[in-house]
Amino acid sequence: NLEEDRLDVHVIEESTRGFLGIVGQRDARIRVTVKEMPRELTEEILGDLPSVFPPEQDAEIREAGMPAEPEPPSEQRQEEMPDESQDPIDEHTVEQVKKILEGILERIPVEAEVVSSVADGAINLEIRGDGSGLLIGKRGQTLDALQFVVSKCVNKGAPSNKKVEVTVDTENYRQRKTENLRETALKMSQKAKKTLKPVSFNPMPPSERRIIHLILAEDNEVYTKSYGEGPMRRIIVYPRRGGANKRRRR
């Protein structure tokens, strides 16, 4: 909420588009600092900022920077869960999806083999080859980009109940990522149950949020909800009141 002339902006690293926007893509990195200004002006600017939380919100939760606790869901939440009503995936669709990924890899170019399989209503594509590790990218961003492009190509114009879920993996990255998310989810769950307060994850993409939801759905003492929009959407873990009372009686 500051005007540009109140900021010092230093470009640390320029952005690059990369090849096809997939390999070698890099965001710009900048450092922004606020220029020194009189204390009176600082208080005037900050005083005009609206409150993030409504007045009636619980004080402890307001201090933690999280939304007020909603009512626990009466049934298991289906948010960001896979649609189990989809039709079975035929071999022609699997072969089509495989060829799309192979075509992209040929144009990068990367010498790799694509192995396809179907599990849990999704098409899984595994990239095998000496250079396959280069396709993971920072925090899996390149692999996610490949998966996004393939999914968009195969589902173009398809109705929502006919869309095919596609997973692109290499060097077992997805499984290793899932194990890391499981470990983090269990730690956050324990923290929520111990403190009897909601605990917030950092923002994460839909695929990772879905994994967290599924993992913590097995824990009857907590439940999860997502808040925020776009890249800032995050999961908050809430302790169930019944579980809290049970621990206190012990």
pTM to 2 decimal places: 0.55
Is the pLDDT at 56 greater than 50? The verdict is no
Q: What is the reported pLDDT for 59?
A: 45
State the Cα–Cα distance between residues 250 and 248, nearest whole angstrom.
5
> Where is pLDDT greater, at 54 or 159?
159
- What is the residue-averaged pLDDT of the chain? 77
Cα(209)–Cα(223) distance, integer angstroms: 13
pLDDT-derived band at 48, boundaries 50, 70, 90: very low
More confident residue, 137 or 78: 137
Contact call for residues 200 and 234 (beta carbons, < 8 A) = yes
94 Ramachandran zone, left/alpha/beta (phi>0; psi -120 to 50):
alpha
Is the predicted pLDDT of residue 52 greater than 50, yes or no?
no
d(CA 122, CA 89): 8
Strand-pair partners of 225: 236
